A = this chain, B = another copy of it.
């Protein structure tokens, strides 16, 4: 087989990586080895696993210069952005370490034996346990945060599962070197062999999802690739959960008073949000509802877009899809082009595109995600036009509302309108720049995601756990966390939530 190539999107130059696609036999061996690692990992307590996560964070930062340089050449993303993204990934490993130490994620419950209206009830103890080897498919647009060293890997490991990663074809060397940083650190820490694995190539990814040893799939990418992976899962003998972050339009609404009061700030903020990282963010605001009279904001965005230099896109496929979708938004969606993008002299580079439409004309045809630096500005005369237009918007990761204190009823109405449509509502800000914290949610109704879980924030760990109950179990077979006496995790005991003894 030929080795994988890597392409610098800033120049279009392709070079061989020397990495060979993983064969089907190798994928099978890796998955089986991960299943062995899964059993071996059971022997280690939470505090050990928290230490492993911290060792991985340290390793990432130790190799920062090499990793960021590699990612720049493979993604065309800016150094500052990639540095922050690496910091975010290390921070994420450490935050999951804290969560593993804290133990609340186990959802430990003890129901002592008791008499009930139905007769004597047995002693029942329950907590969440890891589910098995997790296949992680990273995204093209986050070579660190949603890739080898990203949230799926961190949360799956935090839960106690081994991980087998499918390297993204758009950044194979970044994947390889990130993996090497993690794998070396895990080995040095004394983790079981094959706690981490990686495969290369599309066929290897498909084989991985089909492998009986794989217990779940985490995926951040396109709806079309997501559908292909789901079809592979549907053909498995044993179906497995598929956690997909797929597509998002992220509507943003500016109220009349906000448009008057903060025109310049909103023009600035919106431009930065839809063009940052060349608009290749799943939380990019793809459609913005502005009052008809807010021409100043539109003019300012248009001026900035016209002056903007082309930025590198991640790969030629994204550039091609961008052009296609932009044309569809105009031809089928009836949007008007205010600023047409232009490409640079080299590589896969593009300047921002701005489209406009009357809010009353918004249909599903103009409500398609264009991955790249494009925004559709929908101008409304009556707020009711926004309400109706929102019915054409597919489920999204986020919605954003800019409103003033003077319009609290309107803001509440808009909030109520978007609530069923999204996973996160942002007020007077921008949806890009997802904070990694305990409560952050990155998910939303289909097609934003395909589950009721999140891929960012500590509760992302829930995707890779399942409940297990012990009935009348002798103390010796109970996990430490479920034994009577002082516990180092919060628990619900006979219906009453108790903090950890050390808290």
Question: Given the complex, which residues of B lie within 8 Å of A419, measured CB to CB?
Answer: 129, 468
> Which residues on B sit within 8 Å (CB–CB) of A424?
468-471
Instruction: Give the number of chain A interface residues (Cβ < 8 Å).
Output: 85
CB-CB under 8 A from A454, the residues of chain B are 467
A329, B4: Cα distance in complex, Å: 51
Say yes or no: A405-B474 contact (C-beta < 8 A), given A425-B469, A497-B490: yes
Q: Does any Cβ of B come within 8 Å of A381's Cβ?
A: no
B-contact 0/1 string along A472-503, CB 8 Å cutoff: 11101100000000000010101111010001
Task: Pick the contact of A91: B117, B423, B429 (CB < 8 A).
Answer: B117
With A435-B121, A452-B241, A497-B490 as contacts: A476 and B408 at CB distance below 8 Å: yes
- In the complex, are the beta carbons of A118 and B441 less than 8 A apart? no
Question: Any chain B CB within 8 A of the CB of A45?
Answer: no
Q: Which residues of B contact A84 (CB under 8 A)?
A: 118-119
Candidate in A126, A405, A462, A494 with the most chain B CB atoms within 10 angstroms? A126
Q: Check: A466 CB closer than 8 A to any chain B CB.
A: yes
Chain B proximity mask over A401-426: 1 for CB below 8 Å, otherwise 0: 00001001001100110011011111
- Compute how far the CA of A495 lies from the CA of B451 in the bound complex, rounded to whole angstroms: 24
Interface 0/1 of A1-41, CB less than 8 Å to B: 00000000000000000000000000000000000000000
Decide if A87 is an interface residue (CB 8 Å cutoff). yes
Q: Given A497-B490, A503-B497, is A441 in contact with B429 using a C-beta cutoff of 8 Å? A: no
- Which residues of chain B are within 8 angstroms of A411 by Cβ–Cβ distance? 474, 476-477
A446 touching B132, Cβ below 8 Å: no
User: A450: CB under 8 A from chain B?
Assistant: yes
Cβ contact within 8 Å between A468 and B111: no
Query: Which of A131, A440, A441, A471 has most B Cβ within 10 Å?
Result: A471
Stretch touching chain B among A102-110, A168-176, A199-207, A308-316: A102-110
Q: Are B423 and A116 in contact (CB under 8 A)?
A: no
Cβ-defined partner of A122 (8 Å) among B118, B129, B429: B429
Check: A443 CB closer than 8 A to any chain B CB: yes
Residues of A within 8 A of B (CB): 42, 84, 87-88, 91, 98, 102, 104, 107, 109-111, 116-119, 121-122, 124-126, 129, 131-132, 234, 238-241, 395, 405, 408, 411-412, 415-416, 419-420, 422-429, 435-441, 443, 445-446, 450-454, 457, 459, 462-463, 465-474, 476-477, 490, 492, 494-497, 499, 503
12 CB < 8 A contacts A-B: A104-B497, A111-B435, A122-B426, A126-B457, A131-B452, A234-B234, A423-B466, A426-B471, A443-B467, A452-B462, A452-B463, A497-B503
Other A-B pairs, 16, CB within 8 Å; known A102-B497, A118-B436, A438-B494:
A84-B118, A87-B118, A98-B495, A104-B497, A122-B426, A239-B450, A412-B477, A422-B468, A424-B469, A425-B470, A425-B477, A426-B471, A427-B471, A441-B468, A452-B463, A499-B499
